[in-house]
């Protein structure tokens, strides 16, 4: 499991550590909720900012637009096809992961 965590952290860092303006973010679509705990483990040392609360998409969209842009992973327990209110933000993501 450590090799998976190391690889995953390296992959995430390669996206979030780009010196882009505005800062990059990753949208992580996880309808089966298989990746949340692993992502939470990776952020334990403050490696990156993770939004992993199960909140309504309208709340997530409002939070996103009212927060300053920082490198972060936004975990969403939905498939890409099921996204609605947050889909516009999806187009601005540096990267997205579908699982």
Residues of the chain with pLDDT under 70: 1, 98-99
**Cα separation, 67 vs 73, whole angstroms:** 14
pTM (2 d.p.): 0.88
Q: Are 23 and 86 in contact (CB under 8 A)?
A: no
Q: Where are the domains of the chain?
A: 2-98
pLDDT of residue 5: 87
Q: Where are the alpha helices (DSSP H) in the chain?
A: 2-16, 36-42, 57-66, 87-90
At 24, list the tokens: 């990059």
pLDDT of residue 12: 94
**Cα separation, 44 vs 13, whole angstroms:** 15
**Cα separation, 54 vs 85, whole angstroms:** 15
**Cα separation, 57 vs 59, whole angstroms:** 5
**Cα separation, 72 vs 13, whole angstroms:** 10
pLDDT of residue 98: 65
**Cα separation, 70 vs 52, whole angstroms:** 15
């Amino acid at each position: 499991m450590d090799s998976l965590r190391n690889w995953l952290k390296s992959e995430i860092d390669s996206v979030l550590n780009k010196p882009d303006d505005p800062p990059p973010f990753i949208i992580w679509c996880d309808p089966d909720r298989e990746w949340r705990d692993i992502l939470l483990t990776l952020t334990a040392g403050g490696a990156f900012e993770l939004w992993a609360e199960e909140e309504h998409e309208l709340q997530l969209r409002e939070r996103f637009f009212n927060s300053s842009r920082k490198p972060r992973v936004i975990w969403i327990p939905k498939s890409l096809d099921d996204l609605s209110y947050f889909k516009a933000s999806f187009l601005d993501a540096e990267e997205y992961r579908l699982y």
